[in-house]
Structure 1
Amino acid sequence: MMIFLYLSLFMFMSGLIIFCLKSNHLLIMLLSLEFIVLSLYFLIFMYLSYMMYNYFFSMLFLSFSVCEGVLGLSVLVSMIRSVGNDYVLTFSSLW
């Protein structure tokens, strides 16, 4: 059980490191956010199965993470259509 906890924490920390270091492309940032959400889902699922709770909260978490992914992809598509690339650092209004 502890190896799954360490695995999910390693996944979470590696996702955060990638999110902080590779922050010039929006697509890489979205992929690292989805990796963080996947590690959090794994952690929640392991906790709920360990405590023998109902898995309703995990389904709610999955639906919110899907909505977050769809919003990120729509921002990416609108950015590529308006500017032509996905460089986040070219926008002075974001920073």
Structure 2
Amino acid sequence: MTTVFMLIFFFMFFCGVFSFVYSYKHLLNMLLSLEFMVLCLFIYLFFYLVFFNFEQYFSMFFLVFSVCEGVLGLSILVSMIRSHGNDYFLNYSFLQC
């Protein structure tokens, strides 16, 4: 039964990786796929810790860091939309300020 769960979690994680790779045009889609991958990793980590009877405090640290990563990504998205008007990567020239 644990191998079925592992296969499901790996399939979900690689679906997130593929959606991250193929959504390179929009920053919002990339952030959503990153959060999906973090959620898959959290679920896998939680079941791993429960299965081997470890403490679940590490999962709380993981959630805190993933929330900080999400907030940082959203703040970058908001600043890019305010400065350029959209979230297309093809319209940006990072050499200009």
Moved over 4 A (4+): none
User: How many residues are treated as equivalent by the alignment?
Assistant: 94
Residues 24-78 of structure 1: CA deviation (Å, up to 9, x unaligned): 0000000000000001001111110111000000000000000000000000111
Who is 1:55 aligned against?
A: 56
CA RMSD of aligned residues (A): 1.1
Q: Distance in 2 between matches of 1:48 and 1:18?
A: 28
Instruction: State the identity as a percent.
Output: 55
Larger Rg: 2
**1:1-95 to 2 correspondence within 5 Å?**
1-93=2-94
Q: Secondary structure at the match of 2:6?
A: helix
Q: Secondary structure at the match of 1:89?
A: coil
Q: Distance in 2 between matches of 1:60 and 1:89?
A: 36
Q: Distance in 2 between matches of 1:46 and 1:8?
A: 10
Gap regions ≥5 residues in structure 1 = none
